[in-house]
Amino acid sequence: MSLYRWIVLAVVCMTIHTIQGQDRIYNINFKQEAAYLGTGIGLQAIGFFVHQGTERANLEEISLLDRNDINAFDRSATYNYSSTAQTISDVILFSAATLPFFTYCNKHCRTQGSTVGIMAIETFLITNGITNITKSLSQRYRPYNYNENVPDAVKLGRSSKLSFFSGHASNTAAMSFFTAKVITDLHPEMKNKGLVWGVAAGVPAVISYLRYEAGKHFPTDLITGYAVGATIGYLIPSMHLSDRISIQPYSSAGMSVTVKLN
């Protein structure tokens, strides 16, 4: 996923603009961003070091795998393998890294360019960090390891035991839902919200299907990755909304705090 990280960071940096004199829908403050960015960087570091300590697959272990030991819901994935589906899914993954860029096609979005850029970085770092840690700790064999028609060279690959959960699904869902959330937040009166959210939900669904067909992931890997990414992609912009927390004086003795949950 290293190339994907560089693409995300490059696109976000290219789309950072100065905020100029309009009411801000999103609120950025140093302590909050230090916490989010620090968490994301910390998760990335933990994921890297945990992965360094994992053992690669070997043919002796693979020969003992039995698809009948897989739960019925996931078992069908063990019959799949497609290099074409894998390639297409990779193209979609890298393309999804550019999705935050589309928020800047509108002038209103560009007024909060730096804020959106920071949130996009936070979304990616946290999502990818959680994904990498979980993959390295779970050490679940990919479905193609159960398929007798797949070459041994593929089964012995470095990512052979990194099935749970899907990074393609989680990262694509995170970027898709993040972009949809930002667009609809900055355009509350837009008429095509359903279309925006439909596309946001559809892109990671397509990549999930392709990863299933490629024999890379079980359905549970994909459902979990989708859910994790979509949740983070939605929550990061939500937690930055300016009207989420309102603090006002209350008499001479204190203050009132209002928290907006929607």
Quick check: 78 and 70 in contact, CB under 8 A? Answer: yes
Q: Tokens representing 118? A: 């920071």
Determine the pLDDT at residue 150: 96
| pTM of the shown model | 0.84
Determine the pLDDT at residue 119: 94
Q: Which residue has the higher pLDDT, 9 or 48?
A: 48
| Distance from C-alpha of 222 to C-alpha of 68, rounded to nearest angstrom | 20
Determine the pLDDT at residue 104: 67
Nearest Cα to 128, choosing from 248, 47, 68, 30?
Answer: 47
- pLDDT above 80: residue 152: yes
